[in-house]
Structure 1
């Protein structure tokens, strides 16, 4: 056996051994995608971007800070009723505002930006990995399928083609869900960061006076 034949045989055995892990990972990705879809729907049902409430709250903050009424400004900030990320940020920032710790508020906004990016990573990774696994699950069975075709073994051919088509569909299904969730969440978090930046701008403007 030549070196090329040995190398080809080794690669064939290695790629064939990857088929079951790929199928298992694709199955897990389907469940992960469905869980992510459930979390997405839950998050969607709780989203409430009330711009009038934001403006009223920020006006109270704007009016309170020049008079050094930090407790009143803190209560106004804590009373904001927005999307989860913005509301959570406002409640945590209110504690720092009462302590007049403006650098901590800015650091907190950066932490929330990281938190949003981390949530996007989960679905973004799924949308990238799922098609790769689907492609692997498509190509790996084609070797045995072609061997079966050359030997006239239609049963082996059909079984491997069925696996190839199934893994393609499953991979695209998982990737499609993850891609849509990523795009919609990205817009949501842009809106949330816009509101957080707006709050920060008011605090920085008044704290600098």
Structure 2
């Protein structure tokens, strides 16, 4: 007894049974591609990248960190307005900079990178799976179509060929959408990661300037010499301001008909003496 007949029959039955699941998944792929197009357009409308403004914001951020003004540094981070990912990262990193917890900021940047990879996975899967499903939807109806052709059943042949061509077109459409969105978003996220790395580099450089050694929990201990230097500079500025105020007060208290004496200038003599 030959096993070819039952074996091929099982394979044909199995492949024919996959037709409806393939068609359903293809329709879901088309629906997902339309949703992703909407998300893409929404994300595109929110994108705003200004390199010069980012450089100015980072200069201000570095200056505040170097002067040990960590609340002001957190405020500078919150005021960064770039693309959504960069703005969101800056806002989430602000509390950590107030705590001088640089390791947490690095971890936050890694989490954002993982989130970007997850966003790309959706369109990558769509771009890869949809053409495969379209090919399956093309090949499965060809069996019944050939059987109908051999029996002279033109209606069966036409119906199965219509299903085959339709699934091909639908699969290629969903795959094309996924491919285009993947390529464009990949470039967007490279830009966002570049901006986030730039912010991290600015923070790291200025933390190293004002920091001593790092403790085990990642908090940076400020060098005492730096503290004394900053305090001394502030004290000098305050003393200069006080001296200027005293000089202005003395000038205002002098009589209007008297001028302060100085080198090479004699005091006015009262004519009554």
> For the superposition of Structure 1 and Structure 2, which TM-score range results when normalised by the shorter chain?
over 0.9
| Shift of residue 71, structure 1, vs aligned partner | 1.1
Q: What is the SS of the residue equivalent to 2:165? A: helix
User: Which 4+ residue blocks in structure 1 deviate beyond 6 angstroms?
Assistant: none
| Shift of residue 50, structure 1, vs aligned partner | 1.4
Tell me how far apart the structure 1 counterparts of residues 185 and 158 of structure 2 sit (CA, whole Å): 41
- The yes-or-no answer on 1:45 pairing with 2:69 is no
Alignment match, 1:157: 157
Alignment match, 1:133: 133
| Shift of residue 15, structure 1, vs aligned partner | 0.4
Tell me how far apart the structure 2 counterparts of residues 108 and 171 of structure 1 sit (CA, whole Å): 38
Relative contact order, CA 8 A, sep 6+: which one is greater? 1
Alignment match, 1:118: 118
Tell me how far apart the structure 2 counterparts of residues 12 and 144 of structure 1 sit (CA, whole Å): 10
Alignment match, 2:69: 69
1:95-114 map, 5 Å: 95-114=95-114
Q: What is the SS of the residue equivalent to 1:88? A: helix
Alignment match, 1:84: 84
| Shift of residue 183, structure 1, vs aligned partner | 0.5
1:119-198 map, 5 Å: 119-198=119-198
| Shift of residue 207, structure 1, vs aligned partner | 1.1
| Shift of residue 61, structure 1, vs aligned partner | 1.1
Alignment match, 1:15: 15
Moved more, 64-73 or 37-46: 64-73
Tell me how far apart the structure 2 counterparts of residues 104 and 65 of structure 1 sit (CA, whole Å): 16
Tell me how far apart the structure 1 counterparts of residues 28 and 126 of structure 2 sit (CA, whole Å): 11
| Shift of residue 157, structure 1, vs aligned partner | 0.5
1:190-209 map, 5 Å: 190-209=190-209
Cα shift readout 1:125-183 (whole Å, capped 9, x = no counterpart): 01111001000000000000111111111110000000000000000001111110110
Q: What is the SS of the residue equivalent to 1:147? A: helix
Alignment match, 1:55: 55
More helix by share: 1
Tell me how far apart the structure 2 counterparts of residues 74 and 43 of structure 1 sit (CA, whole Å): 26
In the alignment, structure 1 segments of 5+ residues that lack a partner are: none
Tell me how far apart the structure 2 counterparts of residues 16 and 2 of structure 1 sit (CA, whole Å): 23
Cα shift readout 1:23-62 (whole Å, capped 9, x = no counterpart): 1111111111001000100000010001122111100111
For the aligned residue pairs, the C-alpha RMSD in angstroms reads 0.8
Q: What is the SS of the residue equivalent to 2:80? A: coil
State the TM-score, normalizing by the size of structure 2.
0.75
Count residues in correspondence.
209
Alignment match, 2:215: none
